[in-house]
Structure 1
């Protein structure tokens, strides 16, 4: 089960899925608020999102699987591994700073903190919608151009058109911003979860020049069984920048779970 992040949708997995589909049953989902899923008014905290995701998986008849989460999807994956460990073979966390876990609760001034400005901007009531309505493409291109090792070879005009389309749908901005508006709730929920280690096997991968290159090191004290490292030459958007390398990592991880 593949779960994408900000400012993306299940479209983010288009290059990875064919590389896995000959060996595994692969599903990519739009979380609530993403892509063509419903855009609820609330319920964007990761525990609520996890419950909704599990309900979908039950309807699909999936009861033992690996959850792969990138960015916001990694936030969901961390909480999900605590909530529904009995359903999981393992969890893959990709270049995400998890609120209250690997993301500091305060953001300080500094030369590298431009990467995290949106954690402060996105939760503001009303203002982001007023500034971004009709300008979604500017935001999307800003993130892709700043957080990708080589964005012009990674994202075509058609790719950006698709992400823009998704966030220009009714409620699209609400869905995009909703996960950030729930960050304080996520921190409150994750604080007690951190008192025990994740029981299921974890694969934690950061991009070499991504947002969380140290994700593997950060997760080591938080899980019983964790492996991972850095995807060389990749920025934040690993599934689109380095799909072949990611497919190898996931395949090896899942095959070892089957052994």
Structure 2
């Protein structure tokens, strides 16, 4: 694999050209990567990642689809505004990006925070999402609160990231130490995400405002939960596929999705932790194409 992190250049990964662009939506510039041709397939990353989380799977998917992998508002090389980090607003950014590119109906995939955004997109525009894929997350208001509760064995970082200003102040200048903890601890194989990969994420999260923006996506989670409860009054009707890493969410996502969607299937990815597209890219591509072609 050869690549170039320089923004807006063409990047060659596994002999597939990935084109970098920016586009103005909702008064901010979003950076996105696009490759391939065919029906549009939108990939939404989580925290602490960027579009780069999909680098291993884009080449194979681009043989079948027009793959669009944006940096969410506040992430990567997209603008870092003061607000707009609730998942409904983040979803609207992506909706406008898709339509500015000339597409309407899409296949939509989201991982982690990106999965929360993908659900909001599908709930707001169910007629425009042909199939929805959510990976290794729980939705706010629909199960996430349990894993946010440290007193019941939940993950500590949810509450910590919600604290205003303090995480940014303590982590600034130590981004590599902080991000590496999550990549190593939440992966089945702690070497699946390479030092080169971490270099790229550190580059992005060390830029001015990046830590704050990332944490703002956590600071809206309780409000996102209230919004999702409203969405859940009308269940999604499109096919929904849930993926969970064997050593991470497993089938927890499937159980929670049954309350918000009628047509849900699930797959646990063996030998995998939280970062499915990077830990098991070949398995993910095969599973995704099979689901989309059903």
TM-score, scaled to structure 1? 0.94
Give the length in aligned residue pairs.
Answer: 252
In structure 1, the gaps of 5 or more residues are none
Name the structure 2 match of 1:210. Answer: 248
Q: CA deviation at 1:40?
A: 1.2
Does the 8 Å contact 1:122/1:128 carry over to 2? yes
RCO greater where, 1 or 2, for CA within 8 Å and sep 6 or more? Answer: 1
Does the 8 Å contact 2:241/2:265 carry over to 1? yes
Name the structure 1 match of 2:151. Answer: 109
User: Is 1:150 aligned to residue 189 of structure 2?
Assistant: yes
Q: CA deviation at 1:253?
A: 1.3
Q: CA deviation at 1:104?
A: 2.0
User: Is 1:184 aligned to residue 225 of structure 2?
Assistant: no
Structure 1 runs of 4+ off > 6 angstroms?
none
Give 3-state SS (helix, strand or coil) of 1:109's partner. helix
Cα distance in 2, alignment partners of residues 108 and 180 from structure 1: 15
Name the structure 1 match of 2:20. Answer: none
Q: Which string of whole-angstrom CA distances, capped at 9 and with x for unpartnered residues, describes residues 12-34 of structure 1? A: 00001112111111111100011
TM-score, scaled to structure 2? 0.83
Q: CA RMSD in A?
A: 1.3
In structure 2, the gaps of 5 or more residues are 1-41
Where in structure 2 are the equivalents of 1:42-57 lying within 5 Å?
Answer: 42-57=83-98
Q: Which string of whole-angstrom CA distances, capped at 9 and with x for unpartnered residues, describes residues 194-252 of structure 1? A: 22211211011110001454212321332121112201111000010011111111101
Partner residue of 2:77 out of 21, 36, 48: 36
Question: Which is richer in strand?
Answer: 2
Question: Which is richer in helix?
Answer: 1
Name the structure 2 match of 1:236. Answer: 274
Cα distance in 2, alignment partners of residues 55 and 215 from structure 1: 27
Cα distance in 2, alignment partners of residues 211 and 248 from structure 1: 20
